[in-house]
Amino acid sequence: MRAPALPLDRKVVLITGAARRIGAALALAFHERGAAVAVHYRNSRNEAARLVAAMNARRKGSAAGFQADLGDLDALAALPASVIRTFGRLDVLVNNASTFYPTPIGAITAAQFDDLIGTNLRAPVFLVQAAAPELRRRKGLIINIADIHALRPLRHHLVYCAAKAALVMLTRSLARELGPAVRVNAIAPGPVLWPAGGVDAKLRRRIVERTALKRTGSPEDVARAALFFATEAPFVTGELLTVDGGRILGGGG
């Protein structure tokens, strides 16, 4: 007897920054639901290769890696076309790639500003521009990974917070611009992963204490939210879903 089709069978998903952390959890979750996954990476070639190999070991030809510098407008324009050449279609775009570091008001440089705005806002704009014709054709979906600090400022991270807030408004604007063919939603993670550079243990405890659930989440929590938009929410567009254990309800940043 043939196994029943998975919810995302024959769909193709492009995830930026997919080689590690939340991006890798997103890739595995979509793959487990039957999708073919385009794993975008910039520098994490080895991690991307391992992830692609693991997915292809389960279903041959169901994953491929795509290297691109999202700061390069030509690379942004070419990325969706490369995915379509490889898999024959593109149904879901997940703008997950992000840059995060402090920019206190007295020390912001033009290079930092351009980097943070470029990765967190400009890249999603131009990637959507390049992918929009195919997504319209497939009645597809865009998911933008924002941050709860798009809604509540994080001390000393002025430019990052502003870029993520703009990404939330971009989500709503795109939902109007690309509807009815394409749905566009966003996810705002809270304390599901600490920054790669580490966070002081005392600060971690304080952040967790300010969540309603009094615990951290996981990258898989974000992935489940993305799957909700992809498989269970055909009448939802222009929305922001916080995945933060109730951190948005707590005290100051």
What residues are labeled active site?
160
Residue among 124, 128, 141 nearest 236 (CA): 141
Residue pair 52/27 in contact (Cβ under 8 Å)? The answer is: no
Q: Cα(first)–Cα(last) distance of the chain, in Å?
A: 55
Angular region, 139: left φ>0, alpha ψ -120 to 50, beta rest: left
Angular region, 34: left φ>0, alpha ψ -120 to 50, beta rest: left
Paired residues of 183 in beta bridges: 141
Angle at 35 between CA 220 and CA 74, to 5 degrees: 95
**How many angstroms separate the CA atoms of 116 and 223, rounded?**
24
**How many angstroms separate the CA atoms of 236 and 99, rounded?**
28
For residues 80-114, one letter each, b for 16 or more C-beta atoms within 10 angstroms of the residue's C-beta and e for the rest, the string is bebbbeebeebbbbbbbbbbbebbeeeeeeeebee
**How many angstroms separate the CA atoms of 190 and 216, rounded?**
8
Residue among 185, 188, 190 nearest 146 (CA): 188
Name residue, tokens 């550079």: 197
